[in-house]
Structures are given as C-alpha cells and as structure tokens.
Amino acid sequence: MKKVLSLIEWIEAFDNYEFAENHVDTQCKAGWYDWFCKDDSLANKTKSLGKKVKQLAKSKKIDCACTYVFFKNNCACVNTGTALYDSFSFCDIESGDVLYWITPRSAHTGEAEVCQSPNFGETAASGKWKDIKNFFEV
C-alpha cells in the first residue's frame, strides 16, 4: 500500500502550501485518486476542498492520527447539467476502509451530502454545507 498522510500530516502540509503546485505528482500526493477534469484544475480544487477537510477534521467523529483523506472528481454519467462534481473520503489508515464519503455539491441532487460506513447506499446527512458540518458537530 502506498504511504498515505494522516490527517494531522495532511493538514500541516496543506497549511504549508505543499499542495499548491499545479503538477499532477503534487496533486496525487495531496490525495487525488481519480478525476475527469483537466489536470490543471486540481490545485484549485485541492485548495477549496482542503478548507472543508480542515473544518470537518475538528470533529470528534474523526481521529486525525488514524485517518487519511483522498479526493475524487466524479462524473455523474447522467444529464444533470453539472456532469462533474468533487468528493472526498475519510479513510482508516490501517485498513484503508472508507469511513465517510462527502461531497460539497452532488451533481445528482445539487446538495452537499455525506454517507458513512457501512451504509453508503443511504445519505447520512444532506442539504447545505452547514448541514454537513452539523452532522460532524463542527
């Protein structure tokens, strides 16, 4: 398994602008796993999503020492008007299991959403970003 940064390490690197460069290698180190957008848009996405990661990392539901984050730019594959949308997942470092999947704005619903293990087929919270923060009690 590739070395992943704990959320503690990731936030430190983010705050030190280590993910600011627009190179694919840098953005993969930031946690980008898969994307359909242009490579040169990843750094801006990391900057925007990184702020949201930091907000949620304050939650008691997240153990920042034992959790890592990865990012995905999703393709809705349906005619929604917004075919691409971003998400990030908090995962357990030891097992690699996804604990939470979060999107600030789904192309399917137009809302922010969070799903949690083991019920990824069900939305645990949705609405505006503040509703997601409330779910995490941040």
Segment 80-105, tens digit of pLDDT: 555 789 999 999 999 999 999 999 99
Structural domain span for residue 67: 7-135
Residue 114: φ, ψ to 5°: -135, 140
On whether residue 2 sits in a domain, the answer given is no
On whether residue 1 sits in a domain, the answer given is no
What's the whole-model pTM score?
Answer: 0.91
For 17-59, write each residue's pLDDT tens digit: 999 999 999 999 999 999 998 999 999 999 999 999 999 999 9
Query: In this structure, what DSSP letter does residue 39 have?
Result: G
* Cβ-contact 126, 111 below 8 angstroms: yes
On whether residue 56 sits in a domain, the answer given is yes
The total of structural domains in the chain comes to: 1
